[in-house]
Amino acid sequence: MRRLLRIFKIARVFARYRLDTLFDQINLHWYVRLLIKLMLWRYLIPVGKRSQGARLRLALEELGPVFIKFGQMLSTRRDLLSDDLAQELKKLQDQVPPFESAYSQRLIEQALNAPVEEIFAEFNATPMASASVAQVHEALLYSGEEVVVKVIRPGIEKTIKKDIAVLFTIAQLVEVLWVEGRRLKPVEVVADYENTIFDELDLRKEAANGSQIRRNFENSPILYVPEIYWDLTRQNVLVMERIHGIPVADIDQLKAQNTDMKKLAEQGVEVFFTQVFRDSFFHADMHPGNIFVSRENPSTPQYIAVDFGIVGSLSSEDQNYLARNFLAFFQRDYRQVAQLHIDSGWVPPETNVQSFETAIRSVCEPIFEKPLKDISFGMVLMGLFQTARRFNMEVQPQLVLLQKTLLNIEGLGRQLYPELDLWETGKPYLERWMKERMGPKAVYRSMKQQAPDWLDKMPHLPQMAYEALHQLKNLDDVRRRDMLALSVARQELQQQRSQRGRWLGLICLVAAIGLSVEDPLIMASELPAIGWLLGGVAAMLLLRH
């Protein structure tokens, strides 16, 4: 019943913001287009002056936190949305009223099995920030460290489950009603969102992600990650070191302390490439609200990252193909770009390389009309994905996260230093990584890593070789038995067909005789012709078998 009421509310919001106009330019089945045209509100509720994207954003905000976060995730899917929709969805705000402080304290005490006064020397009951999934309080440990305490919003899991079920229903309808629905896999998009948002409900996962990135950048001059207090962290409570940096979007404050903006922007690019290619583990939610700049040493600035609920990872194959794709693109080797997409399995193996190369060239060549510093890495990646989508490229969740992160980093870097040349900054890193990955040192390093395994398996090689040869011999015996069984089965099937053919022929013959010896009135009609026809069929069946 609740789900039905929720669907009715969605339908009301859908009508109020005239979201039916979103489907006017979409290739829907004819009966769906007819149904939309028959909707009464199309003729009663004016569209107004707002754009389609603005109306969708307002509708999601009215539907609540789960739909807001879904819209935020969709805003990163430039391969699915128009620019207007993507830009509007980026404006979605995730600010919701905090829940009662007393309830927050009770949740912390239940999770940590002790009163707040025993855990913290000071605890500010007024939250620093409040979002749809959790809210954050500042506190002080008895050891003197300032910390923040993140608490999952009570009852949010039930709300999420209810709204996710509705989103799955909508996605299934899209698959059925939209001509291209299956190819764009809306159910998989919702499933990815479900995994992401439920991961955010377990703060131990976020803490583990933060610890991993902190370890990867230990003693790094370019990125600092706050310490996680594992003894005070549970599934619904996370305690982390409090930081006092400058929000990265606060350009005036950064300039006021004489921050080297060029160096800061370039270090952002270095952080991205280091996470993606060195560590294969990257912070995938690097929007300005999660990035700060240290107040120390403004001439050699250092980033501070928080909120590790969403991370991404690439396989070694994806890393390799991605790096080679970027290098091939900036060398304008479109044949190589096309072949790499096929070799990586991102597009089907039967894809025509020449056609794919031509499509990529038509998208990428206009980009090089701009100065190199104005070329957007993120838009290049998005253009490649949109082109590949026309060649049935499968959705690659890890690449979608990467594209989103790259767009965030690039936008942030150019906001800090408009003259940032992302390619000039990133190319040396890519070339150095490729050299380390593919050169003689990399081969030696790989052999050195695998040597213990080889030495461990060497004494067993004769036995393994004997077993392999024995299995091959057994395989021949099995194949011969299978061929004999198949031959016997074919003979039995042929006998069954022959027997059925004889019976059918006999029936046709009897019918032919019966029709041929009827009374003269029938003989004078055309029915005897049917008898002769049946007789002919009978003769053919009997002679054949």
From first to last of its 545 residues, the chain has per-residue pLDDT tens of: 666 677 777 777 777 777 667 666 666 656 666 666 666 666 567 767 778 788 888 888 888 777 777 777 677 665 556 777 777 877 775 556 787 888 889 999 999 999 999 999 999 988 888 777 888 999 999 999 999 999 998 888 888 888 888 888 878 877 776 655 566 677 877 887 788 788 888 999 999 999 999 999 999 999 999 999 999 999 999 999 999 999 888 888 999 989 999 999 888 888 988 998 889 899 887 777 788 999 988 888 999 999 888 888 888 888 888 888 888 877 888 899 888 888 888 788 888 888 888 988 887 787 776 666 666 766 777 777 777 777 777 666 667 777 777 777 877 887 888 888 777 787 787 778 877 776 666 555 556 666 676 566 667 667 777 677 767 666 666 666 767 777 776 776 666 656 655 555 555 555 555 544 444 444 444 444 444 444 554 455 444 55
CB-CB contact of 241 with 141 (8 Å): no
Measure the CA dihedral 387/390/393/394, to 10°: 120
- Residue carrying the six token digits 């080297």: 260
Residue 482: what pLDDT?
A: 66
Q: 133: helix, coil or strand?
A: coil
Residue 279 in tokens: 């560590």
Residue 315: what pLDDT?
A: 84
CB-CB contact of 237 with 231 (8 Å): no
Residue 25: what pLDDT?
A: 61
Residue 456 in tokens: 């461990």
- List CB contacts of 543: < 8 A, sequence separation 6 or more: none
Residue 504: what pLDDT?
A: 54
Spatial separation of the C-alpha atoms in residues 343 and 321, rounded to whole Å: 9
Q: 238: helix, coil or strand?
A: strand
Spatial separation of the C-alpha atoms in residues 74 and 534, rounded to whole Å: 67
Identify the sign of the CA torsion 399, 400, 405, 407: positive
Q: What are phi and psi of 296, to 5 degrees?
A: -90, 145
Residue type, 372: L
H or E element that contains 121: strand 120-123
CB-CB contact of 139 with 238 (8 Å): no
Residue 52: what pLDDT?
A: 79
Spatial separation of the C-alpha atoms in residues 218 and 366, rounded to whole Å: 42
Measure the CA dihedral 355/357/359/364, to 10°: -170
What is the widest separation between alpha-carbon atoms in the chain?
119
Report which of 110, 122, 13 is spatially closest to residue 71, judged by C-alpha positions: 13
Q: 143: helix, coil or strand?
A: coil
Residue 524 in tokens: 């004078």
CB-CB contact of 264 with 417 (8 Å): yes
CB-CB contact of 541 with 502 (8 Å): yes
Report which of 428, 86, 494 is spatially closest to residue 277, judged by C-alpha positions: 428
Q: What does the angle CA 180 – CA 183 – CA 189 come to, to the nearest 5 degrees?
A: 110
Catalytic residues: 285
Helices (H), 246-352: 251-256, 261-273, 316-330, 334-343
Spatial separation of the C-alpha atoms in residues 54 and 91, rounded to whole Å: 9
Mark residue 4 as left, alpha or beta (left: phi above 0; alpha: psi -120 to 50; beta: remaining).
Answer: alpha
CB-CB contact of 446 with 295 (8 Å): no
Assign 3-class secondary structure to 410-447.
Answer: HHHHHHHCCCCCHHHHHHHHHHHHHHHHHCHHHHHHHH
Spatial separation of the C-alpha atoms in residues 67 and 160, rounded to whole Å: 9
The burial of 416, by beta-carbon neighbours within 10 Å (0-12 exposed, 13-18 middle, 19 or more buried), is given as: buried
Residue 484 in tokens: 């004999």
Residue type, 218: E
Residue 257 in tokens: 């302390």
Report which of 185, 234, 181, 182 is spatially closest to residue 208, judged by C-alpha positions: 234
